[in-house]
Amino acid sequence: MIAANNPDLVSWINVSEDSDFPIQNIPFGVGFLVQDEPFVATRIGDKVINLAALNDKGYFKELGFHSSDFNSSSLNALMKYGKLPLRNLRNRISSLFAEGNMELQGHDEDCMEVLYSADRVQLLLPVTIGDYTDFYSSKEHATNVGTMFRDPANALLPNWLWLPVGYHGRSSSIITSEVPVVRPKGQTKVEGENPKFEASARIDFELEMGFYTFDGKPLGERISTAEAEDFIFGLSLFNDWSARDIQQWEYVPLGPFLAKNFASSISPWIITLDALQPFAVDTPVQEPEVLSYLKFEGKKSYDINLEVFIQPKDGAEDRVCLSNFKYMYWNMAQQLAHHTVNGCNIRCGDLMGSGTISGPTPDSYGSMLELAWKGTKPLTLSDGSQRRFIQDYDTVIMKGHCTNGNVRIGFGEVRTQLLPAID
């Protein structure tokens, strides 16, 4: 067992039972206080912990890190060390804040300099993202979309059951929680008419998880499914915003472009793959049998409960989706193995989107396209208003957590408001 994962650990920081951030979590992010420089951080309960200050005070002196690794506006420098050094760091943080450890506890001056109330800290995009790949790995989602737009009897395209489909996305427009999104404009087309340039009328969310990578192997070498998790740092919640009307017109023959690259929203805390180990589960049965490089052993999927809420302007949050990451047909190890099987190199800070996470029941569909079934079955919110797609000033909120009866590991939330198109 990884030391920081011990379910018996209790922190001397107060943590409520429903907190996403018990001592067994130890996520990583980047934050700052008003008029101060950014710093690498973690969180326990309602306290954000300044890891730069802890390092400068000598609490990590045996771990081999540098001050600049923590006094930074991104996690990239820290991630360059790879999986084992960051496991050691997470274990050290866990030990420092465990009940009974008096190294820091009781040192009021040090505590004041490293512990902040979460509401005082503004969180930044945690990683300077290099390349971004988005997958299409939910069988339920792909089947639903294929049923809507093609022959229901042949909903899945011929390649879908043989490989994790993906496309290269745009990293420059990936934003963190609380940053609003402007309704995009582009070309749309109604059958029988010429295309029009106009604001998209069908803005959608896509419930996804995103995982960040460490440095991979040199160009020309591939990563196997057995090795893949050694190259994955951790996961965040991911909202892959989509303009469905723009997408429908542009996606043939090369796939999504303007319909996807206007914005994607990600939660600010990265939950390490180490912290998620206790929640590993079996991947759904894959038929036909996958090719040799996609075969794997062990539990490579993760039991992560996911929720999506829509909040109208000045209104209440309404939950519209309850899903789970474990439903994904293609797991992260397979996605990374496929991504590199041709020798493509991955780099520290690359981001991989899981693809929309839909489950087997209508309330578990991970997009408005499915929930309202292409707009034909609008959702009614608690204020009586209806939604076929996301309206101006709506806020979309995604939350996620794991629990096994002993420990709850949460992701916080990603919260994004949609603003009207710019004239």
What are the catalytic residues? Answer: 141
Alpha-carbon torsion (27, 30, 34, 37), positive or negative: positive
Contact 198, 189 (CB under 8 A): no
Reported as half-sphere exposure (CB side, CA atoms, 13 A), residue 227 has a value of 15
Contact 382, 356 (CB under 8 A): no
Residue 148 neighbours by CB distance under 10 Å: 14
CA distance 59 to 53: 9
DSSP single-letter state for residue 16: -
CA distance 265 to 245: 20
Helix (H, G, I), strand (E, B) or coil at 50: strand
CA end-to-end distance (rounded Å), the chain: 56
Strand 264-266 relative to strand 207-213, pairing: unpaired
Residue 17 neighbours by CB distance under 10 Å: 6
